[in-house]
Amino acid sequence: MARAIEGLSKIHHHPSVTRNILMHPQDKAHIRYLDIKTRPQMPGKILAATNIHPDEPFLSAILPRVINERLNDQNSHDVPNMLFIHESTPSGVAIRDSGYPFFNEDLKVLMEAYGLSHDEAMAQYGYQLPRTNINGHDLNRSFLNMGDDPEAWLHHHLVAQNGPIPAGFYFHNDEELVGPKGKAIYIYIHGNRQDPFPEEFIERYRVAMRKNGFLLFNGLDDKSEPELGNRVEEGVVRTFTDEKDEKNEPKYASSLENNMVDKGIMRWAFTLEFPVTDKTTLRKMTEVVIDNLVFPVGTSLLQ
């Protein structure tokens, strides 16, 4: 099924870009990805991924356009070698784009809480965009039992095949960043405690965001998961692979980013939480983040 993403189809035709597909050996699952090789003499590459959560579709429409523009603009910032995964959760994206009502975990919780049938819950709560893949798994929480989920397995193998990847950028939208916070952004930086991500890159991102009139979010990152207790300071939360929860279990055991870093196939993993806001603001924010964090980090680490 062809989905028309203008920037994506343009990137396909750029001479530095190869289209690839990775198949799961048993399952029918697969992921498609672009290998953008602007500097063929260099072996390394960074990673950028959208559609981790299919209910956060906004950046997946914007990012291909921004990358395509940078690829075609001689005066623009250097595009580092990179893998680009447009649909990190392809089965969830297919369900979302079919417009077919999806039986997701949220709906199940509502049904149990109020004793509703599926149809009653749908009638009452309406259509919800799927957050998970076809197996009901949240890709970002499926890495503890990766063997149970073909799409988690595929993501891991793609990174391992191309690794170690110095920096992986995962693009999300946080629906809580609305209203007066609609211009705020925050970023998780996952890493090993003994190998901290350089402060100078963080400062460059903070300065650029402020200069463009955007807010750096401060406060608790996710009110629905207070047990994580992550406080964002000036748009950044650093998390480390050795962090433990109150039961003394690894705090981020199931998270995609933690697993990439913990397994040594990615040096730093970034979760970029953009607000849910108008297209123009989101586009500008994406450009500032690409030009002042993603590409400078990539070109610097790949030297």
Rounded least distance, CB 171 to Zn ion, Å: 9
* Residue of closest CB approach to Zn ion: 172
> How many of the chain's residues bind Zn ion (CB under 5 A)?
3
Per CB under 5 A, the list member of 96, 172, 181, 251 interacting with Zn ion is 172
The nearer residue to Zn ion, 225 or 242, going by C-beta atoms, is: 225
Q: Per CB under 5 A, which region of 25-33, 89-97, 171-179, 236-244 contacts Zn ion?
A: 171-179
53 or 155, CB closer to Zn ion?
53
Number of H-type helices and E-type strands within the chain: 10, 11
- Output 73 or 175, the one with its CB closest to Zn ion: 175
Dump the DSSP string for 24-92.
-SSSS-EEEEEEE-S-TT----EEEE--SSTT--HHHHHHHHHHHHHHH-TTSPPPPPEEEES-SSHHH
DSSP states along 3-30: ---HHHHHHHTSTTEEEEEEE-SSSS-E
**Smallest gap from residue 173 Cβ to Zn ion (A):** 7
Least distance to Zn ion from the beta carbon of 261, Å? 18
Counting contacts by CB under 5 A, is residue 131 touching Zn ion? no
Shortest reach from residue 277's CB to Zn ion, in Å: 15
Query: Which residue lies nearer to Zn ion by CB, 35 or 222?
Result: 222
- Minimum Å gap between C-beta 38 and Zn ion is 28
Nearest CB to Zn ion, comparing residues 188 and 201: 188
- Residue from 45, 53, 65, 251 that binds Zn ion (CB under 5 A)? 53
Q: Which is nearer to Zn ion, 52 or 107 (CB)?
A: 52
Structure tokens at 198: 């350089």
Which one of 48-56, 74-82, 200-208, 248-256 is the stretch in contact with Zn ion (CB under 5 A)? 48-56
Select 172 or 267, whichever has its Cβ closest to Zn ion.
172
- 24 and 145 Cβ atoms separated by less than 8 Å: no
Nearer to Zn ion, 172 or 183 (CB): 172
Short-list 223, 225, 50, 54, CA closest to 128: 54
CB 42 within 8 A of CB 55: no
What letter represents residue 293's amino acid?
A: L
Q: Indicate whether 96 belongs to the interface with Zn ion (CB under 5 A).
A: no
The residue type at 193: R
Site for Zn ion in 202-261 (CB under 5 A): none
d(CA 95, CA 3): 13
Q: How far apart are CA 154 and CA 232, in angstroms?
A: 31
Q: What is the DSSP letter of 172?
A: E
The reply on whether position 137 binds Zn ion by CB under 5 A is: no
Nearest of 279, 239, 234 to residue 257 by alpha carbon: 239
| Residues making contact with Zn ion (CB under 5 A) | 53, 56, 172
